[in-house]
Structure 1
Amino acid sequence: MLQHCLRTLVRLVSTRGAQMPADKARCRLCVKLVGGGTVLYQFSLFGFGSSRKPDVESADSWMAEPITNLQYLKENKHDMKCRMEAMIMRIQAEFCHALEKEEQEEGGKKFIVDKWEREQGGGGITCVLQDGTVFEKAGVNISVVSGLLPPSAVQQMRASPGLLPSGVWKFVRSTHELCSKTGVSSVIHPKNPHIPTVHFNYRYFEVEGSDGEKQWWFGGGTDLTPNYLEEEDVTHFHRALKKACDCHDKTLYPKYKKWCDDYFFVQHRNERRGVGGIFFDDLDEPSQDKCFDFVTSCAESVVPSYVPLVQKHKKETYSYKERQWQLLRRGRYVEFNLIYDRGTKFGLYTPGARFESILMSLPLYARWEYMHAPAPGSKEARLQEVLRNPREWI
């Protein structure tokens, strides 16, 4: 087994090395052998990020011209704001193309691309597919905004506002905070009740206070909201996210899985919005580069974690009763997004916000029924039990 793995590793290193200039091909191999135990070998590739093709080189496939001038992105590809913008442009395009493929195989529609500008600084690209064959409403939005923020928006920026230095906090409490935010956000509402809804959001903040001190951090996550519990689907979804986390640190998935369960809690309903995933915020260690590599891995896990579920269920038949249950679950989705979600609040409180893009996460159709409760022992009740008592899926 060890010999086979080492041969595989050599081929991997050779392939990666062939994809970059010789002076960039830096990859350290660490091998760990444990005698008498269950671990036969362990290896890791450090410097993997240095072998990654710069995201800005994928510009030909993007859904639109970037918000920042493309030449500027190329000339400043080491600046984190530029790196993040190029990465989310690539992720947006890859996800849209993957969803369009599933939609058009069923004779459906393509995404409309709406590029917009914000008077106070920056703008965004909103891609929406509405009233399709597979997707009732699918939105994939990127935003690159900067400017001054009022206290109401600042309070939504971090999970722990106290992480802002006291001087900066006093400054934003009395006036404004200079902020730059770059992120990608998506919510997919399929037509078939057996295809889950998926949401992901990955973002990067830079802020500067009145004393010139700067801070940066990342946040984000991916989560799944099914209407019917298919344990195989949920396990597949969580396994893909765990794989993305484990490439960086095996302690991350369980920590961020719990954070996700806690964050997407509809308190007045005493249930989670869905079956979870990962969620994190205020990520600013161990280094900016390592945080970016981690966020990139998480963003890249969206297509393999979700699209197979679309392929599996998109041709399934469903009943009127199942459709009505789907609409009720969407009502719960709306309740969370409008009452609890910090991302939605941040957008709505930001001056010059584009409300159409912020509210793209809302479904095309939803339903509220007075005092509804699923029948005991039903498929609907089985899902609700999991929403009230989160489980470990892998």
Structure 2
Amino acid sequence: MSEDFDERKARASGWFRSLRDQIVAAFEALEDSQVEGPFAARPAGRFEVSETRRTAPDGGDAGGGLMSVMRGGRVFEKVGVNVSTVYGTLGERAQAAMAARKDLPGIKEDPRFWASGISLVAHMQNPHTPAVHMNTRMFWTPHGWWFGGGADLNPCIEYEADTESFHATLKAHCDKHDATYYPRFKAWADDYFFIPHRGRARGVGGIFYDDLNTRDWEADFAFTQDVGRAFLPAFLPTVEAHRNQPFTEADKDAQLVHRGLYAEYNLVYDRGTKFGLETGHDANAVLMSLPPLAKWV
């Protein structure tokens, strides 16, 4: 079992890295092709890439990854595409949370873990182009493994056609695996990306899933790969539809206010933010999702 999962871990980690490479190339190509509009005179944006490291409580190596961030581009005001593979032992708070799960009864006796994934958040220059989030991940302990992830669209100015197209692409990729996945994971996203203290969702939804373990690792990995593959065809049409659209100061103001809402959610409720900070991962990489500018009324 151990050797089997070493190979599976390597495959999962390799896939997340290859997906990162595809998305970074596609986003830089968008920057190159942006020759109209108020930001076209800027140099085409490029990702700044840096290694991230996670340090174990005893000071030892506990994994790391790559943080890739583009700032001040023609299309993207700020976008981050991070990949990481981290490992070690879970802290007391994480152990307590997982010990409550019926499928992980021995986590306190053996709190080792391994996790790998990709996380992406894009904040756009044109306020008519929606912000977007996507992540997929694999988590392993000696007591069980699972996959999670999803994608959701976060426009400050909503267009029904964008919402329908984004959801239709996600549904098509889900339906290849299980006809129940899209309705289940859409409902999960609607619940997960809700901001209780504001009484509203942070965007127009998408899909979200966690703890996916059907006891068929190959099937669950294949589905998680398709969630990643769905991202570019789901998101790029919204960029093409709006990246040259004229906007006003009022539109930009609405974007900044909506970004404040996004920041509130990520700092207060997001599981990934909490896990990353609690397990000692690079804080800059964990907080990459925050917008470059935001506003509160």
Is the TM-score greater than 0.5? yes
Q: Which amino acid aligns with 1:91?
A: L
Find the residue that maps to 1:301 and give its secondary structure: helix
- Separation (CA, whole Å) in 2 of partners of 1:155 and 1:218: 20
Identity, in percent, stands at 40
* Alignment partner, residue 290 of structure 1: 219
Does residue 177 (structure 1) correspond to residue 111 (structure 2)? The answer is yes
* Alignment partner, residue 15 of structure 2: 87
Find the residue that maps to 2:137 and give its secondary structure: strand
- Separation (CA, whole Å) in 1 of partners of 2:230 and 2:265: 24
Does residue 118 (structure 1) correspond to residue 54 (structure 2)? The answer is yes
* TM-align CA RMSD: 1.9
Name the CA shift for 1:317/1:163 in 2 (closer, same or farther; >3 Å): farther
Contact between 2:189 and 2:205, CA under 8 Å: does it hold in 1? yes
Find the residue that maps to 1:127 and give its secondary structure: strand
Does residue 136 (structure 1) correspond to residue 77 (structure 2)? The answer is yes
* Alignment partner, residue 294 of structure 2: 366
1:98 to 26, 31, 48: 26
1:221 to 141, 145, 150: 150
Contact between 2:130 and 2:154, CA under 8 Å: does it hold in 1? yes
Contact between 2:95 and 2:111, CA under 8 Å: does it hold in 1? yes
Q: In the TM superposition, what whole-angstrom CA distance separates every residue of 1:211-269 from its partner, at most 9, and x where no partner exists?
A: xxx31100111100011111111111001100110000111100000000000010000
Contact between 1:104 and 1:110, CA under 8 Å: does it hold in 2? no
- Separation (CA, whole Å) in 2 of partners of 1:143 and 1:219: 15
**Alpha-carbon deviation of 1:166?**
2.9
- Separation (CA, whole Å) in 1 of partners of 2:267 and 2:168: 29
* Alignment partner, residue 166 of structure 1: 105
- Separation (CA, whole Å) in 2 of partners of 1:149 and 1:140: 25
Aligned length: 282
Find the residue that maps to 1:82 and give its secondary structure: helix
Matches of residues 242-281 of structure 1 in structure 2 within 5 Å? 242-281=171-210
Larger Cα-atom Rg: 1
Q: In the TM superposition, what whole-angstrom CA distance separates every residue of 1:127-163 from its partner, at most 9, and x where no partner exists?
A: 100111211100000010000120223466x7x9424
Does residue 330 (structure 1) correspond to residue 259 (structure 2)? The answer is yes
* Alignment partner, residue 108 of structure 1: 44
Q: Which amino acid aligns with 2:120?
A: S
2:140 to 206, 225, 247: 206
Contact between 1:123 and 1:144, CA under 8 Å: does it hold in 2? yes
- Separation (CA, whole Å) in 1 of partners of 2:72 and 2:123: 10
Name the CA shift for 1:129/1:222 in 2 (closer, same or farther; >3 Å): same
Contact between 2:52 and 2:285, CA under 8 Å: does it hold in 1? no
Name the CA shift for 1:199/1:289 in 2 (closer, same or farther; >3 Å): same
* Alignment partner, residue 233 of structure 1: 162
- Separation (CA, whole Å) in 1 of partners of 2:53 and 2:89: 16
Gap regions ≥5 residues in structure 1: 1-74, 209-213, 370-394
**Alpha-carbon deviation of 1:77?**
10
Name the CA shift for 1:133/1:163 in 2 (closer, same or farther; >3 Å): farther
Q: Which amino acid aligns with 2:46?
A: K
**Alpha-carbon deviation of 1:92?**
0.4
**Alpha-carbon deviation of 1:115?**
1.7
Higher mean Cα deviation, 127-136 or 356-365?
Answer: 127-136
More strand by share: 2
Find the residue that maps to 1:96 and give its secondary structure: helix
Q: Which amino acid aligns with 1:281?
A: D
* Alignment partner, residue 37 of structure 1: none
2:121 to 162, 187, 205: 187
Q: In the TM superposition, what whole-angstrom CA distance separates every residue of 1:5-42 from its partner, at most 9, and x where no partner exists?
A: xxxxxxxxxxxxxxxxxxxxxxxxxxxxxxxxxxxxxx
Q: TM-score, normalised by structure 1?
A: 0.69
